[in-house]
């Protein structure tokens, strides 16, 4: 680093509404860059999600068992939901 250059680290505590307000103040080109960055980050996280889930399933549990458990959980959730009393299939 050049000795005439200094680096400052700031820590801000702002909520989502403030972040959105700041983004709204950016020009269209910069907002597009922010959007692309967020979309790329989301895509990377979404792509990695199945591997993260699979890594938490013990190896002795088969895929068939997982699918049965998921189907049972869906049935239970639908049975206990008042809005799904007759039309959630």
Helix (H, G, I), strand (E, B) or coil at 86: coil
Q: CA-CA distance, 43 to 57, in Å (whole number)?
A: 23
Render pLDDT for 8-43 as a digit per residue (tens, 0 to 9): 898 989 999 999 999 999 999 999 999 999 999 989
Alpha carbon distance 6, 76 (integer Å): 60
For 51-86, the pLDDT digits (tens) are 898 888 888 998 899 899 999 999 999 988 877 655
Give the global pTM: 0.43
> 71 with 63: CB under 8 angstroms?
no
């Amino acid at each position: 680093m050049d000795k005439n250059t200094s680096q400052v680290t700031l820590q801000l505590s702002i909520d989502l509404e403030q972040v959105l307000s700041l983004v709204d103040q950016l020009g269209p080109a910069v907002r597009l860059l922010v959007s692309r960055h967020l979309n790329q980050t989301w895509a990377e996280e979404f792509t990695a999600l199945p591997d993260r889930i699979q890594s938490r399933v013990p190896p002795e549990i088969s895929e068939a068992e997982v699918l049965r458990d998921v189907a049972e959980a869906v049935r239970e959730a639908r049975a206990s939901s008042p809005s799904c009393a007759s039309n959630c299939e």
